[in-house]
Amino acid sequence: MSRSRRLLAALLACTALCGGAVLATGSLQSASAARAFGNDPFTDVVDAAARTDRSCSISNNGLAALVMAVTWEETGAGTGPPSPMTLSRYDTASGLYFESNPNSTYRRAFWHAGVGMWQFDSAGLGAPRYAAHFISTAGGAPAAASAMADRYCAAIDGGFTGALARAAAWRPWNACNDGTCESIFAEIYNGQTGQLRNISGTSAVGSRGGMVSRVCGRGGSTQVFAPCFYVDPALAQGQDWWAAPNAGRSPITFPFYVFESGGYEYRVWLREDTGFPFDVEATRPLGQNARTSLTWHRSTALCAKVSAAQTFCDVSPNHPFFDEIEWVAGEGIASGYANGDFQPLAAVSRQAMAAFLFRLSGSPQSPAPPTTPSFRDVSRSHAFYREVEWLVRRGVTTGYADDTFRPLNQVTREATAAFLFRLAGSPNMPPPPAAGSTFPDVPRTHPFWRAIEWLVDEGIASGYANGTFRPGTAVSRQAMAAFLRRYDTNL
């Protein structure tokens, strides 16, 4: 059966067997007493139970109930939906802290040893795999089902039955130590009918519980991209009490990326998520306890992308100028740096501006650049000689009075206005505003007043919230991308 068909079947089963149906069949349980569980995690558990080999007689639903019963206790979810992303907050072993130092300034680069709805821990059943495998209920449910089936059947073989055999199956999950899991089992499973019951499904909790799929590359310009996952406690689905800063003995981690490669689990905290002055990477050999096996590094060359289609490591689809930056990249107007970054906040130099405008105009082959340079600081061997000379011939720039172009100087907002205005052919202006000027810091006497008014009128740029234009402010690469995109679109 395909996943989608199984999901439908599971949802129908839940409709028929869980909270609502309980009332229909006269159960004493009320709908409000039902235990919540994510629809997709529910499907994963049911799937895992159906696929798990076992050497004794236990029904698929019985095994599914066995698997689910521990999750509310292990995650402290009460009767709410257990969070697949749950990160343990109990353990404060020094090895789990950045550089094994609990007093570190960077202590929120913290390695949570127990992960997921079944709290797989690297000291135990979680040792052979990485966090994302167990956060995903598609990975955690089969592992839990397999371990519980083995132990349940071993107990049955040893002469134990019923509650004793179930207690044996749950022994690796210490939260069941007080017998609560047996009560939950009886609550969610009808041993007489063999049906699951009293479980209310919710679509608000997915299989990954808010963990986000990403594509990560390492190794600078020679990066090989592979799947990775972004774990941000703030995005946790289900009961997320554990994500609160004061919810446990250990710190709650800052968002991190997790992936496995070549037998190692990697967790990476990027400075953009932590505010630290460096990126942090921790590595665990699979099979070993994180408390005594982590290796910490202060920097990394991780490039995390939402998808392979994302061009730059540091410009995700959430970036306010994502579309504009992707557009300038796609049009070949701007490219990134060797490490895969675009550096959107970096300033634009005049030589880069020349290149951008040249490419925006289609990288024209004519007129050919002159044999005699127009500027004494942009020689024929200059990397942007062709582009700067093209700018001169189009009348976009004249340089400075001392015959220099000053190619490395930062481009200001007023200069950008002038460049684009001239590139557009210095068009005639509409009537000026009644006040004479749109911006108090760009009066009519300003040398670039006309160009700035035109820029705003064409919708290429706008002013700041306080009504100013700040003409002398340097232009960032992200702002330039936006200007160029609007220029292309609006003109």
Q: Does 174 bind another protein (CB under 8 A)?
A: yes
**Closest by CA position to 118, among listed 134, 96, 142:** 134
- Applying CB under 8 A, which of residues 291, 386, 413, 477 lies at the interface with another protein? 291
DSSP code of residue 335: -
* Piece of 18-26, 121-129, 348-356, 472-480 that binds another protein (CB under 8 A): 121-129
Residues 99-118, interacting with another protein (CB under 8 A)? 100
E-assigned strands of 146-294? 189-190, 195-196, 199-202, 212-218, 224-231, 256-261, 264-269, 280-285
Query: Smallest distance from the beta carbon of 136 to another protein, in angstroms?
Result: 6
Q: Does 281 bind another protein (CB under 8 A)?
A: no
**Closest by CA position to 294, among listed 118, 101, 103:** 101
Residue 269 in 3-state DSSP? strand
Contact 255, 233 (CB under 8 A): yes
Q: Does 383 bind another protein (CB under 8 A)?
A: no
Residues 2-21, interacting with another protein (CB under 8 A)? 2-4
Joined together, the tokens standing for residue 194 give 């063999």
User: Nearer Cβ to another protein, position 37 or 229?
Assistant: 229
Burial of 366 (0-12, 13-18, 19+ CB in 10 A): exposed
Q: Does 151 bind another protein (CB under 8 A)?
A: yes
**Closest by CA position to 127, among listed 172, 82, 62, 68:** 172
User: Nearer Cβ to another protein, position 49 or 328?
Assistant: 49
Q: Does 474 bind another protein (CB under 8 A)?
A: no
- Applying CB under 8 A, which of residues 22, 46, 47, 321 lies at the interface with another protein? 47
**Closest by CA position to 200, among listed 86, 68, 43, 31:** 31
- Applying CB under 8 A, which of residues 263, 275, 362, 431 lies at the interface with another protein? 263
Residues 48-87, interacting with another protein (CB under 8 A)? 51-53
- Applying CB under 8 A, which of residues 15, 25, 94, 468 lies at the interface with another protein? 94
Contact 427, 365 (CB under 8 A): no
Burial of 280 (0-12, 13-18, 19+ CB in 10 A): buried
- Applying CB under 8 A, which of residues 14, 22, 115, 138 lies at the interface with another protein? 138
Query: Smallest distance from the beta carbon of 62 to another protein, in angstroms?
Result: 17
Binding residues vs another protein (CB under 8 A): 2-4, 44, 47, 51-53, 92-95, 100, 121, 123-125, 128-130, 133, 136, 138-139, 142, 146, 150-151, 154-155, 158, 160, 164-165, 167-168, 171-172, 174, 177-178, 207, 226-227, 259-264, 285-289, 291-293
